[in-house]
């Protein structure tokens, strides 16, 4: 037994160091495992943030592509006076001036109030103002000239129908229903005030 006791004295120091090293190793493994868990959670948060940024970038790219694709169309419609406003006064002035310059046309017209049509896309709506236009002429060429003149005015004149009849004086009487189209924000329901 004394040999064992003497051996104990020789290995005691090594055993204590080995035990301390084992405790340090276990502590280091535990800390490493905790740090690894923290880093994996952080990596998951960063992946989620990266995915969110990727989705935002894709949405911005889509918006940019739409702006490029539809920008020219928007500019053309804006130049034609179709977007955001009805140009009723321009139409009235044109027809009044035309009647003054060419009184034999005997132009008579009536404009109904603007009303929303069924076409709605996101936050914009198509609007229409019906015009009943009557005039007399000598030949069909003048008819084409009058309609071409309307095409040069702001807005989009969409003839629904034109009826041409011959009068007793060998003139042509024209009766047209024209829908003046424009695009604008959705009107609030009656009784509500827009903000």
DSSP element (H, E) containing 191: none
Mean pLDDT on 182-194: 69
- Please give the helix or strand (H or E) that residue 81 lies within, else none: none
Give pLDDT tens digits for 52-79.
Answer: 999 999 999 888 887 788 777 777 777 7
- Beta-bridged to residue 116, according to DSSP, are 127
Question: Would you mind telling me the total number of residues written for the chain in this entry?
Answer: 195
Cα 107 → chain centroid: 40
What's the pTM?
0.59
The answer to whether the beta carbons of residues 99 and 161 sit under 8 Å apart is: no
Q: Tokens in use for 162? A: 């034109």
CB 140 within 8 A of CB 117: no
Residue 82 has pLDDT above 80, yes or no: no
User: Residue 12, CB half-sphere, CA atoms under 13 Å: how many?
Assistant: 7
What is the tens place of the pLDDT at every residue in 83-136? 777 888 888 999 999 999 999 999 999 999 988 887 677 778 888 899 999 999
pLDDT tens track for 124-162: 888 889 999 999 988 888 888 888 999 888 888 999 999
Angstrom distance (rounded) from CA 119 to CA 186 = 10
């Amino acid at each position: 037994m004394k040999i064992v006791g003497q051996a104990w004295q020789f290995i005691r120091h090594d055993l204590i160091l080995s035990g301390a090293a084992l405790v340090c190793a276990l502590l280091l493994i535990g800390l490493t495992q905790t740090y690894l868990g923290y880093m994996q959670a952080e990596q998951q948060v960063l992946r989620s943030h990266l995915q969110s940024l990727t989705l935002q970038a894709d949405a911005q790219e889509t918006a940019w592509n739409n702006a490029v694709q539809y920008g020219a169309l928007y500019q053309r419609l804006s130049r034609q006076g179709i977007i955001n406003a009805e140009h009723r006064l321009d139409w009235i002035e044109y027809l009044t001036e035309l009647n003054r310059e060419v009184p034999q046309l005997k132009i008579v017209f009536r404009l109904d109030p603007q009303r929303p049509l069924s076409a709605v896309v996101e936050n914009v709506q198509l609007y229409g103002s019906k015009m009943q236009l009557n005039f007399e002429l000598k030949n069909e060429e003048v008819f084409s000239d009058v309609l071409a003149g309307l095409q040069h005015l702001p807005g989009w004149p969409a003839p629904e129908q034109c009826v041409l009849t011959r009068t007793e004086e060998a003139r042509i009487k024209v009766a047209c229903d024209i829908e003046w189209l424009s695009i604008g924000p959705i009107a609030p329901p009656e009784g509500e005030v827009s903000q």
